[in-house]
């Protein structure tokens, strides 16, 4: 990061209306209001802080003056991509703030994300009373889907529904879709606020500290690992093999490994490993030595780990155009059993794939509170007339970030960083290459 302009959030126009928060909070109101002059440093390390002109980020929060007249404004909410704990919490929070605090005339729930929007699936009118308990449920009550985006159809539908504020809850692909919609709206001269609430269970979005649902996901994964350990420990020469989510980034596998303290080997997409079928180095020989020493082992593998052992061309692509992954869990289960069988060594393998459980469980308390705060700040920014922005935390503070900044790349575990070192210290695993 270098240019200050790269972190500026576009505005639809001047804020002309008093926020309803001003009347409700009375004398205390002014202390809570922010404006674009309240900013924080992008970097917080001393060598970076002391190096010339600093890039800053706009702090999130309610504004004293807002762009939209609440009684005339209409909002729409959609979820895109896969399930993630906390989706219902974000929807509930947005409706609570937009209707209950700002008094918007209408908030629509778009069924099945961008796919439902472009196909014209009738939306649902959302009210606070209707959603009073929805945040206690897992999944997504609006539905979500992956699709090839038809930008013109999406924009036409938003205009037909007289939407003024669009909230897109999703990952990097969803944010790219939101950028394309914002571009088309600008081309047509339509003043519509497009807001992203970042969602990725893999916690792999750039710049932000953590995605919602991640805490719930690795906490749930930790309990699965403990069950795998119980199975392995209770069997002679038992091996518990657990496959966790993480297509390109191994954060769930790393954090669940640290939380459980029962893992012998942690395999992630960022660190290659060899099988070592005939040698002394690699996963299989290391696993044999572990069983000789402890009589049991637990192997945690992220779904995107070990893809070097598959042919990408043979796997093909999914409906969204993403490269399909080889099933590393079943591959390792087969390799482990065959390796021990060839050597006449007994092994009791228990393979567990809890991926859909991690995605669909209700958010825990930490994520529920985080989701509500994300929703609140997203609503405040949109009502103030900000657009093409994502709300998230950076260095522990809520900020508004340009969508383009968040989708520039994918955050991954640094093989030379502190997190991976902590994992290696916890597992005691050797180099597997």
Report residue 244's pLDDT band, with 50, 70 and 90 as the boundaries.
very high
Residue positions counted in the chain: 433
Q: Do domains 4-211+363-394 and 214-360+415-427 have the same CATH topology?
A: yes
Least reliable range by pLDDT among 25-29, 75-79, 210-214: 25-29
Is residue 51 over pLDDT 90?
no
pLDDT > 90 fraction of the chain, expressed in percent and rounded: 82
Tell me the pLDDT tens digit for each residue of 113-137.
999 999 999 999 999 888 888 999 9
Catalytic residues: 202
Least reliable range by pLDDT among 40-49, 259-268, 355-364, 380-389: 40-49
Strand 238-244's sheet: what is its strand order? 265-267, 296-302, 238-244, 348-352
Is CATH 3.40.50.80 what the domain over 214-360+415-427 is classified as, yes or no?
no
> What pLDDT score was predicted for residue 1?
36
In the predicted model, what is the mean pLDDT of residues 296-308?
97
Angle in degrees, 0-180, between the axes of helices 365-383 and 87-95, rounded to the nearest 10: 40
Is residue 67 over pLDDT 70?
yes
CB burial of 351-379 (b: ≥16 within 10 Å; e: otherwise) equals: bbbbbeebbbbbbbeebbebbbbbbbbbb
Least reliable range by pLDDT among 42-46, 100-104, 186-190, 330-334: 42-46
165 dihedral zone (left: phi>0; alpha: psi -120 to 50; beta): beta
In the predicted model, what is the mean pLDDT of residues 375-381?
97
What is this structure's pTM?
Answer: 0.92
Architecture of domain 4-211+363-394: 3-Layer(aba) Sandwich (3.40)
Report residue 4's pLDDT band, with 50, 70 and 90 as the boundaries.
very low
> What pLDDT score was predicted for residue 6?
72
Is residue 50 over pLDDT 70?
no
Is residue 416 over pLDDT 80?
yes
Is residue 177 over pLDDT 80?
yes
In the predicted model, what is the mean pLDDT of residues 198-212?
93
Is residue 91 over pLDDT 90?
yes
CA-nearest of 85, 84, 143, 83 to 368 is: 85
Three-state SS for 282-330 is CHHHHHHHHHHHHCEEEEEEECCCCHHHCCHHHHCECCCCCECCCCHHH
In the predicted model, what is the mean pLDDT of residues 38-60?
76
Which residue pairs, CB below 8 angstroms and at least 24 apart, start in 33-41?
Answer: 33/61, 33/62, 33/63, 33/64, 34/59, 34/60, 34/61, 34/62, 34/63, 35/63, 35/64, 36/9, 40/394, 40/395, 40/397, 40/399
The answer to whether 107 touches 98, Cβ cutoff 8 Å, is: yes
> What pLDDT score was predicted for residue 46?
64
In the predicted model, what is the mean pLDDT of residues 208-228?
96
Report residue 279's pLDDT band, with 50, 70 and 90 as the boundaries.
confident
In angstroms, the CA 341 to CA 388 distance is 57
Is residue 49 over pLDDT 80?
no
Least reliable range by pLDDT among 27-36, 157-166, 171-180, 403-412: 27-36
Report residue 53's pLDDT band, with 50, 70 and 90 as the boundaries.
low
Residue 419, CB half-sphere, CA atoms under 13 Å: how many? 18
CB burial of 136-169 (b: ≥16 within 10 Å; e: otherwise) equals: ebbbbbbbbbbbebeeeebbbbbeebebbbbbbb
Q: Does an H or E element contain 57, and which?
A: strand 56-59
Q: For the CA atoms of 77, 82, 86, 87, what is the dihedral angle to 10 degrees? A: 20
Domain positions in the chain are 4-211+363-394, 214-360+415-427
Report residue 44's pLDDT band, with 50, 70 and 90 as the boundaries.
confident
The answer to whether 170 touches 79, Cβ cutoff 8 Å, is: yes
């Amino acid at each position: 990061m270098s240019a200050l302009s790269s972190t500026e959030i576009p505005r639809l126009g001047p804020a002309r209306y008093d926020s309803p928060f001003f009347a409700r909070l009375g004398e205390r109101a002014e202390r809570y209001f922010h404006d674009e002059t309240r900013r924080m440093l992008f970097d917080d390390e001393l060598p970076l802080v002391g190096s010339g002109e600093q890039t800053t980020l706009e702090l999130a929060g309610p504004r004293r003056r807002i762009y939209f007249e609440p009684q005339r404004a209409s909002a729409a909410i959609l979820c895109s991509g896969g399930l993630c704990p906390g989706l219902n919490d974000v929807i509930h929070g947005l409706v609570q703030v937009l209707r209950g605090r700002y008094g918007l005339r209408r908030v629509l729930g778009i069924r099945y994300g961008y796919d439902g929007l472009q196909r014209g699936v009738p939306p649902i009118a959302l009210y606070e009373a209707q959603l009073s308990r929805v945040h206690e449920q897992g999944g997504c009550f609006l539905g979500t889907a992956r699709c090839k985006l038809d930008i013109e159809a999406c924009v036409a539908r938003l205009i037909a529904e007289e939407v003024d504020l669009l909230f897109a809850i999703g990952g990097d692909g969803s944010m790219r879709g939101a950028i394309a919609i914002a571009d088309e709206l600008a081309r047509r001269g339509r003043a519509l606020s497009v807001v992203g609430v970042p969602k990725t269970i893999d916690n792999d979005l750039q710049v932000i500290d953590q995605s919602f649902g991640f805490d719930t996901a690795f906490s749930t994964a930790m309990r699965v690992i403990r069950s795998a350990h119980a199975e392995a420990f209770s069997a002679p020469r038992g091996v518990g093999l657990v496959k966790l989510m993480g297509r390109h980034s191994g954060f769930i596998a790393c954090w669940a490994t640290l939380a459980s303290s029962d893992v012998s080997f942690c395999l992630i997409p960022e660190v290659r490993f060899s099988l070592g079928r005939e040698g002394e180095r690699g996963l299989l020989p290391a696993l044999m030595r572990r069983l000789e020493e402890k009589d049991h082992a637990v192997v945690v593998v992220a779904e995107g780990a070990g893809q070097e052992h598959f042919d990408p061309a043979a796997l093909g692509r999914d409906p969204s155009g993403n490269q399909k992954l080889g099933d590393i869990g079943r591959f390792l289960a087969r390799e482990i059993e065959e390796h021990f069988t060839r050597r006449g060594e007994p092994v009791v393998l228990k393979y567990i794939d809890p991926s859909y459980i991690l995605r669909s469980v209700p958010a825990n308390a930490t994520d529920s509170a985080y989701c509500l705060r994300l929703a609140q700040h997203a609503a405040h920014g949109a009502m103030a007339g900000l657009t093409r922005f994502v709300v998230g935390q950076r260095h522990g503070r809520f900020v508004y970030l340009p969508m383009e900044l968040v989708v520039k790349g994918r955050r991954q575990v640094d093989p030379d960083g502190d997190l991976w070192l902590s994992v290696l210290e916890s597992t005691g695993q050797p180099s597997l290459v």
